[in-house]
Structure 1
Amino acid sequence: MTAHPPEPGEPAGADDARGPAELSERDRAVLAMERRGWPGPGAKERAVRERLGISPTRYYQLLGALLDDPRALAHDPVTVNRLRRIRDERRKRR
């Protein structure tokens, strides 16, 4: 099923008879950041602030929610599944 843009007056991200709305531009940008490789520990955090305009803490909160969002899995299954595996491994070590 293909998602359609919201009708005039319909809130962005709303679910309706057509199915779940697509991911927001910000959510897609967060997933795109996770697809990249990063040269050093501070480079990613700096890019998050500069490109997305949010703090690294907020970025990781959004990313955590995306990992449980079926729309994110449909949008980028390779990245979401890789991050889920990493998250699950970390939880097992605790």
Structure 2
Amino acid sequence: MPELDDFDARLLDFEEHAPRSLGAKEEAIRKQLGISPVRYYQRLNLLIDAPAAMAEHPVLTARLRRIRDQREQERQGAREVE
């Protein structure tokens, strides 16, 4: 199984300790990781399905996948109502 590169490891570590406030989190993403919040969330969404990320951060990746799946179900339910 391939290992996480340094940036991906930093990104997951950041997510584990990130501020709860959206504004503070977005500012910290820019300052600490040097990327836009959009790019951060795109990369995070890919990482949570990566076996290496699941092996290194099992609780975090499981929680994030659960949140993503719940949001997708909510979107599907909203489409069915329309």
Q: Offset at 1:21?
A: 2.4
Q: Does 1:38 align with 2:19?
A: yes
Q: Does 1:90 align with 2:65?
A: no
Question: Which residue pairs with 2:52 in the alignment?
Answer: 71
> What is the percentage of aligned positions where both structures have the same residue?
49
Question: Which residue pairs with 1:3 in the alignment?
Answer: none
- Normalised by the length of structure 2, the TM-score is 0.84
Larger Rg: 1
Higher relative contact order (CA 8 A, sep 6+): 2
Kindly report which structure 2 residues correspond to 1:8-87, keeping only aligned pairs within 5 A, or say none.
20-87=1-68
Q: Offset at 1:91?
A: 0.5
5+ residue gaps, structure 1: 1-19
Task: Give the 3-state SS of the residue equivalent to 2:30 in structure 1.
Answer: helix
Task: Give the 3-state SS of the residue equivalent to 1:93 in structure 2.
Answer: helix
**Residues 1:39 and 1:83: Cα distance change in structure 2 (over 3 Å):** closer
- Normalised by the length of structure 1, the TM-score is 0.74
Displaced runs of 4 or more, over 6 A: none
The two structures, once aligned, show a CA RMSD in angstroms of: 1.1
